[in-house]
Structure 1
Amino acid sequence: MGAVTATDLVKTYGAGDRSVRAVDGVSATFAPGRFTAIMGPSGSGKSTFMHCLAGLDTVTSGSVTIGGTEITGLSDRALTSVRRDRIGFVFQSFNLLPQLTARQNITLPAELAGRTVDPDLFEHVTGVLGIGDRLDHRPSELSGGQQQRVALARALSTRPEVIFADEPTGNLDSHSGAEVLGFLRDSVHRLGQTVVMVTHDPNAAGYADRVLILADGRIVRDTGR
């Protein structure tokens, strides 16, 4: 069973003659413990595809399954529960709450779910990410690379079944971006994490075990690392 499976996935915007198929009948399975990059030119449908996989966007037809649970057709409440409890998100914009410290931003998703973060996991993740000495700082006191590492720690702290990363290095310099990508890769190979990342950068895709290339809403190439 895949960590994430898409079957005949279609996402259409508009209606009639003006309709556009952003995702056009895509089927793909993402194996547990693998790092997959999704690439393609602007307008290829790569971000729409990932948003459908992650339950951030509705689908026109087809299905998405996460860990054996079909999320297409779930109620808003049930879908929110899946996103909160089983999925981690990392975006180009770091999406940290400015009034909270790094520590509070990391633990917030678990607290909203009525859980506590495993202290050993918290210490391990923040240590490997090199932010152990920045946990009491607010986002405005952190560099872009540090903020993205906080966002990564937040995503990993709930032990999600899959992390979806949408251009996670887009706002970072090359050095910080390489550090973030290296940690994503380590999280796969050391922690068994499943990562699905959208990127336009071939260098970023080079960190992945597998690369899917989309064009006009369809997969045109599926290659191993």
Structure 2
Amino acid sequence: MTTTTQHAPHPTTPPPTIAARAIALTKTFGAKGAGVTALDAVDVSIEAGRFTAIMGPSGSGKSTLMHCLAGLETPTSGQVLVGDTDLTRLSDKALTLLRRERIGFVFQSFNLLPMLTARQNIVLPLTLAGRSVDAERLAHITGILGIDDRLSHRPSELSGGQQQRVAMARALITAPDVLFADEPTGALDSRSSTQMLSFLRTSVRELGQTIVMVTHDPRAASYADRILLLADGQLAGELLDPTEDSVLAAMKGLGD
């Protein structure tokens, strides 16, 4: 009699959670027939809890892609989803609420209000949304960023690096689905740039934050888990676990 041995099925890795995605995303600027296509039917998925950088030559569409994913630009066609919410179907009011409650932003300029303390600047998005402050999260974020002893100070009483950390804490305090960073190191010196990138990495590792960063700097991009490469408004490839050298080589291949 023949016996059959049954093997237990191999465990499978669950698919990654997608925080945001673009489907056939097209964005054209200008009049029909004379317009410029910044994005041409781009399909992109942003995995939750990871640090994704977007790179490409000047005019490749990288900033437009980020602005569309963040709900700052309206696509000409295609879809943009944050979680399961289709941004292209939202009213202006609903889109404004989504950006305030589920999206975080870090820009080159800190945009702190000079009359408010550091703490008041950090919790401002919660105040505007009528939400209470999670004291534990506030303490955790400010502790990670090393500003927990500066919360009663106004921006004029803080160094540039401390102001930078306050702006970072403000972007993180709402626990956004996605934090978008638009050339966040572009106006910083080397030391401050390294600190900012380290903060972004730490927020991914310790807070589980999803980050999308547009940058032209190969060193900055090397902090990411994944790099999306754009050229002429289309996805031209990606790099996983990038190094500065691999980024430089990839950009050279794109003609930048």
TM-score, normalised to structure 2, is: 0.85
Identity %: 66
Q: Do structure 1's residue 48 and structure 2's residue 64 form an aligned pair?
A: yes
Displacement of 1:20: 0.3
Q: Do structure 1's residue 198 and structure 2's residue 198 form an aligned pair?
A: no
Q: Do structure 1's residue 123 and structure 2's residue 139 form an aligned pair?
A: yes
Spell out, residue by residue over 1:146-205, the C-alpha distance to the aligned partner (whole angstroms, 9 max, x if none). 222111100111111110110111121111111111111111112111000001100000
Query: 2:95: which partner in 1?
Result: 79
Whether the 8 Å contact between 1:122 and 1:157 is mirrored in structure 2 is yes
Q: Do structure 1's residue 212 and structure 2's residue 234 form an aligned pair?
A: no
Question: Which one has the largest radius of gyration?
Answer: 2
Q: Secondary structure at the match of 1:110?
A: helix
Query: 1:169: which partner in 2?
Result: 185
1:157 corresponds to which of 166, 173, 192: 173
Q: Secondary structure at the match of 2:213?
A: strand
TM-score, normalised to structure 1, is: 0.96
Whether the 8 Å contact between 1:86 and 1:160 is mirrored in structure 2 is yes
Distance 2:161 2:99 in 1: 25
Distance 2:110 2:32 in 1: 37
Whether the 8 Å contact between 1:39 and 1:200 is mirrored in structure 2 is yes
Q: Do structure 1's residue 178 and structure 2's residue 204 form an aligned pair?
A: no
Displacement of 1:140: 2.7
Q: Secondary structure at the match of 2:18?
A: coil
2:137 alignment partner AA: L
Question: Bigger CA drift: 44-53 or 89-98?
Answer: 89-98
Q: Which runs of 5+ in 1 are unaligned?
A: none
Query: 2:239: which partner in 1?
Result: 223
1:4 alignment partner AA: A
Spell out, residue by residue over 1:73-118, the C-alpha distance to the aligned partner (whole angstroms, 9 max, x if none). 3101100111111111111111212221211110000011111221
Task: Answer 1 or 2: higher relative contact order, Cα 8 Å, separation at least 6.
Answer: 1
Displacement of 1:49: 0.7
Displacement of 1:145: 2.1
Q: Which runs of 5+ in 2 are unaligned?
A: 1-16, 242-256
Displacement of 1:18: 2.5
Q: Secondary structure at the match of 1:3?
A: strand
Displacement of 1:139: 2.1
Count of residue correspondences: 225
Whether the 8 Å contact between 1:37 and 1:197 is mirrored in structure 2 is yes
Q: Secondary structure at the match of 2:111?
A: coil
Whether the 8 Å contact between 1:144 and 1:171 is mirrored in structure 2 is no
Whether the 8 Å contact between 1:145 and 1:172 is mirrored in structure 2 is no
